[in-house]
Chain A
């Protein structure tokens, strides 16, 4: 890289061009890149670090400069700017390479899948700087123990199923063993092996491309059935110690065993106490196993990976196989006995092998369009990173390191650079992987927001299918396909296909107009009332001081106008636009609102929000009040207890959320799960045997019923302290003699509480209650930090965040906040009306 120098200044590129893969901090899903690029402070060479989906997001957000003029020769105008033809395509100079003149020879060395992925509607947005694809990573010793040959890993998916079953048969009750780490990679590879895909493209009559979701296709149905076979197959260990399948979830199983005879079920196959009997041998319920995979579908993404890693690398492996990249293989080799691991190509289906391309793609900042000199220098850097020369450098540096990483480079590259001895040590399976890679790699589907949308619908579906034997996956897939298609069409800017569009627009206009009118009316009446009452004193406004008064007011007013109102007003019209931070915004009328109203996700989010608010207000609001009342009664230890309850407020909010996220871990080691196990233990010892609960770790934050309570609990835990202080101060302001007088009059403590305490607290409670309602509706920060945007905790505020920052639909996000404001407007006005009618006094709290 040192040879890349700026010809104009002679300085090395490192001083002029920046490449940063990411912001120093990483947040779940949210990239602050949007802000950097909006402000024009983004780096010149834009490189991704989390893969191809991130590149597509950059492309969709228009952060990237088309690179066509650098790769092929294009006719230019008098000022040297490259020309486009009237239909939008580039004005190429005719030449020998596909009718064009190739300026950058390394273009031919890129794999076809990558060449396809970097282009979009004729514009080329990036170059791959690293590439990778999944293969089958497996433990040789697991294979050996299971009676399989580690030199012949499964070549087809049927062999794969057999291998999974046999590896799982190594389980003991204390140490379950799983054949495969089941995640999206396995699903994708199986689907591609059948010749299917998640979507296909079709050219519309007007020449553009429409992506059609194919999640309800027959290949996908078979894929879901494959998942269910991995997780729901019931099997036993027969008298020779070999596994025998006694039930398949979606197909009849052959229940005739060669030596034990014909078996039958006593009870439903998935019911709790069912047994399976052969003539002469009965298998009790706890002897029948279910599934052969470590199910990570739809669960937590990164933490799950850490756990599977631990299981995979134990001395006696607890997971036998994983679909992963050679880089991961290298990571394991660095800390592991190299002879226990091996790497093979992914199993093949009837249509061959298929794996989606992975890697990182880099492009140039769109702002370089105005700065050709820097653009040229940045191009030199980028093209070097994507060149074969650079790949050679990488080969050398990896080979020097040893430690197993050298095996993760294709043997032909090793040999080409003189590392024959390393190449010799590459196992035959790994060789086969590299040899067949180019044929197996498929491009990632490039439609806008495709991965985010598809995952949002498919992840919960896969999880449910893998856990629930009675799940109607065919209908679920069909419903998902319809919704995915609607979202994809919206993302593509095709608004014409919404059903009953006219009706929806009319309904919307009526509702919004109604709300607006009501709001304006309420505000106007409040302001009139405000103008009518001029305060308690008799003195009117003093003209002499008006100038000084306004002078004193102006800093506060100015700050609030500038920093609070101005951004809101600038943001309002975005609800009618397809907003792009890089400036190419288009008006789309009511399309954003139609999308909100026709998206079932928004409606379910409203329901979730109602659930969240009920719990949050019910517990979170009243807990500090109750606590304060209790605190008011005691004398001893009061300072100690107050400090203890205030402790959570002392640590910064976001780190408290991370702390609790760790406590809610879905593994048996998580704090909450350990407490849960303790409770189960107590229950099981006192309850009769039929009501015993199994000791299963619960994924609290993702649980459909307990997810929201868990999040609410964290909020309550953190918010108790400050709330308690305020109510305590209020309580201490109530004069003691009132209580004594009431007692003398014969009032019991219930009556005293109701008539004295509550009536003193009432204004404070009402104000705070309204504030709590508004806050609970808007709260998204703690939910996101704790649980991400998973369906269990998908409230309206999370939906807003996801549309804005997850999908990049700023227009929809703004429209959603209009809707939110409309819903909350009533509460806000009510709060303001009360605030006008109260006066504030100092508390009389004296201790």
Chain B
């Protein structure tokens, strides 16, 4: 209400000026707020919407986005190539690339009657409950009582052994890679742990791998995605890659030569050997070859040698060629190499998860027609049945829609909270640093200012200039000697290294002195007459009257101490001692963007509260210069 006076405001020109001022201020406010709102929105981001700069959390109302965000988390432990295979998609390879995912792949299930959907899922889960563990991947579907992370193998291991999850922070679980022919399980302790964990997973948390997808990928690469070429080679008339040809574990009967050749080539060169075993007759005839092979390539000539190097008894792999992959890594590698090159496809028994699923379904539904009726599908052959994983995803998304949205919104905050508060000591460290800073700076600075002010020390001006001159010189140059000094004083790895160098602040001494100078001298004289000592003068008169300036000094100290960054990195080697700013930076560097932003927001709460509640103190305590 200053320059434009009250009277001015009533006339049109004044009103216009006020309007213009408000407009400018609000425009500026928007530019201040937008990055913050964006920051808030980014606390929920993951690779799906990381690059968006909109402040609107669109996932809250757009299912295309929320479904993808949820599924990204769910399939985190599954090899990326499986996802398009599950959804039968050919034109995208990860969720970032398909914007209308929900509309295309999940919305069609709205039209399916609920009980048919339920039947599909029930059959699928029953299958997974009894499936061979070597055909499974783990999922992480949403459960209202647990977060995603609680579910992972590391946490399960920690719970099982009663230790903190931190013991396993560098644990690398084994991932099965059924895309490779020669992948061999390590058969060691971590493999056993992995299998145990898979075994205790409820069926809804399991995913069956798809042999079918590999077969289709093989064909797509061989025929370069050209359906006519495929049809020509196989003498078929498929209209779509997604509708055939299907993979069968048996050599396809009544097949064209092209199809048979492709099938054989696929099985011998691509199909994972963990899913293959041998016909007993073929194994017997090849046993002699097997022993020769062992002798030549790995120098095993006796059964004892076999047992010594693999830990398996002789009859489990040496006397006869094992029918399936032997349960020792070295032996399994030799077996794979031998089978891959010496045993033709016709002598092998192929298992495929889809075939097992089909066999399982046949026990529950007498014929294809009843299956089609129960499921609401129109499969033409038993071979063409796919895993209804998309249906299961749809059901979870529908049932737990709200929970999923909550999880997306707050998941990162939960991570940050755990990292900073439960497992880390960032807040308590910062509290300690704050306390020490306040203690030192509110002791050292006021008494120095009081001495200069009250006692009129000889050479006051020189001392002040001496103190203030330190502000003029650049800091980086003195960094190395400063560090060496702190080391020589044995202050490394202590909080004093953060507090002491900046405890005495020349500018605040200057301001405090100015303030003390302005206090009326009569008070002191009166108190002296009444017999008070210097100490009483200081504590009973000066301090109470100086509350505003002390509050400002306190505020400055608190802000400075809360934001300490470089000194903490330089002087504190133990990261458990790190305060907030450095912990936030580290979280931001080692985690995803969403977690980093959440950490940032969490760390900003305290200064914001301080400002909001202390606005008046700040304003009142500000000291302003005027010419003498």
Cα–Cα, bound, A315→B581 (Å): 40
CB pair B53–A671 under 8 Å, yes or no, is: yes
**11 residue pairs A–B, Cβ–Cβ below 8 Å:** A425-B182, A533-B461, A550-B457, A559-B444, A645-B28, A645-B32, A648-B35, A649-B611, A800-B474, A842-B549, A843-B624
A632 at the interface (CB under 8 A from B): yes
Q: Tell me the bound Cα distance from A553 to B462 in angstroms.
A: 13
Cα distance A841–B460 when bound, in Å?
19
Residue-by-residue, is B441-473 near A (CB-CB < 8 Å gives 1, otherwise 0)?
001110110111011111111111101111111
B382 at the interface (CB under 8 A from A): no
A650 touches B (CB below 8 Å):
yes
Contact A530 B514 (CB under 8 A): no
Contacts of A315 in B (CB 8 A): 91-93, 97
Neighbour of B476 across the interface among A40, A338, A804, CB < 8 A: A804
- Segment touching A, from B19-27, B311-319, B413-421: B19-27
**B570 and A563 contacting across the interface, CB-CB below 8 Å:** no
Collect the chain A residues with CB atoms within 8 Å of residue B612's CB. Answer: 643
Task: Assess whether A817 is in contact with B569, with CB atoms less than 8 Å apart.
Answer: no
Chain B residues packing against A (C-beta within 8 Å): 1-5, 7-8, 18, 21-22, 24-26, 28-29, 31-33, 35-36, 38-39, 51-53, 79-81, 91-93, 97, 175, 177, 179-184, 186, 217, 221, 224, 297-298, 329, 333-334, 336-337, 340-341, 443-445, 447-448, 450-452, 454-465, 467-485, 487, 492, 500-504, 506, 509-511, 514-515, 517-518, 521, 534, 548-549, 562-563, 565, 569-570, 573, 575, 580-582, 584-586, 588-589, 600, 603-604, 607-608, 611-612, 615-616, 618-628
Distance between Cα atoms of A800 and B515 in the complex (Å): 38
Interface size band for A: 35 or more
Given contacts A646-B611, A671-B53, contact A530 B622 (CB under 8 A): no
Whether B33 lies near A647 (C-beta < 8 A) is yes
Are B2 and A731 touching (Cβ within 8 A)?
yes
B-facing mask of A510-530, CB < 8 A → 1, else 0?
000000000000000011001
Name the distance in Å between A585's Cβ and chain B's nearest Cβ.
Answer: 12
Is A271 located at the chain interface by the 8 A CB criterion? no
9 A-B pairs closest in CB distance: A530-B461, A840-B514, A549-B455, A556-B448, A552-B451, A567-B478, A729-B622, A570-B481, A828-B472
Min CB distance B608 to A, Å, is: 5
Q: A531-B461, A629-B3, A778-B474 are in contact. Are A647 and B444 (CB under 8 A)?
A: no
Q: Mark A715-754, 1 if CB is under 8 A from B, else 0.
A: 0010010000110111111101001100100000100110
Residues on A with C-beta less than 8 A from B184 are: 400
Closest to A771 in B: B471
Binds B, one of A157-165, A292-300, A493-501, A538-546: A538-546
In A809-834, the 8 Å CB interface with B consists of 810, 813-814, 817, 820-821, 824-825, 828, 832
Interface presence of A479 (CB below 8 A): no
Q: Is the CB of B615 within 8 A of A642?
A: yes
Chain A residues near B447: list those with CB within 8 A. Answer: 552-553, 555-556
From B26, B52, B476, B624, A729 is in contact (CB under 8 Å) with: B624
**A658 to B585 Cα, complex, angstroms:** 10
Kindly list chain A residues whose C-beta atoms are within 8 Å of the C-beta of B586: 24-25
Instruction: Given A671-B38, A717-B32, check contact A653 B563 (CB 8 Å).
Output: yes
Beta-carbon contact of A729 and B221 below 8 Å: no
Q: Is the CB of A564 within 8 A of B608?
A: no
Closest to B510 in A: A835
Decide if B573 touches A41 in the complex (CB within 8 Å): yes
Q: Determine if B622 and A752 form an interchain contact, defined as CB atoms under 8 angstroms apart.
A: no
CB neighbours of B51 from chain A (8 A): 669
**Does A581 contact B480, Cβ atoms closer than 8 Å?**
yes
Query: What residues on B are CB-neighbors of A422 within 8 Å?
Result: 182
Decide if B623 touches A840 in the complex (CB within 8 Å).
yes
Known: A556-B444, A630-B24, A838-B626. A736 touches B465 (CB 8 A): no
CB–CB A25/B569 < 8 A = yes
Residues of A within 8 A of B340 (CB): 421
Q: Is the CB of B457 within 8 A of A549?
A: yes
A645 to B608, CA, bound (A): 12
Q: Could you say which residues of chain A place their CB within 8 Å of the CB of B476?
A: 780, 800-801, 804-805, 813, 817
- A284 in contact (CB, < 8 A): no
For the complex, give the distance between the alpha carbons of A152 and B548 in Å.
79
User: Is A613 in the interface zone, CB < 8 Å from B?
Assistant: no
Q: Are B461 and A545 in contact (CB under 8 A)?
A: no
Given contacts A402-B182, A736-B2, 15 further A-B contacts (CB under 8 A): A24-B586, A35-B570, A335-B80, A421-B336, A527-B461, A542-B455, A542-B456, A559-B503, A560-B504, A563-B502, A567-B482, A567-B485, A568-B477, A634-B25, A728-B619
Smallest distance from the beta carbon of B281 to chain A beta carbons, Å? 25
Residues of chain A within 8 A (CB-CB) of B624 are 726, 729-730, 733, 764, 840-843
Chain A residues with Cβ under 8 A from B186's Cβ?
400
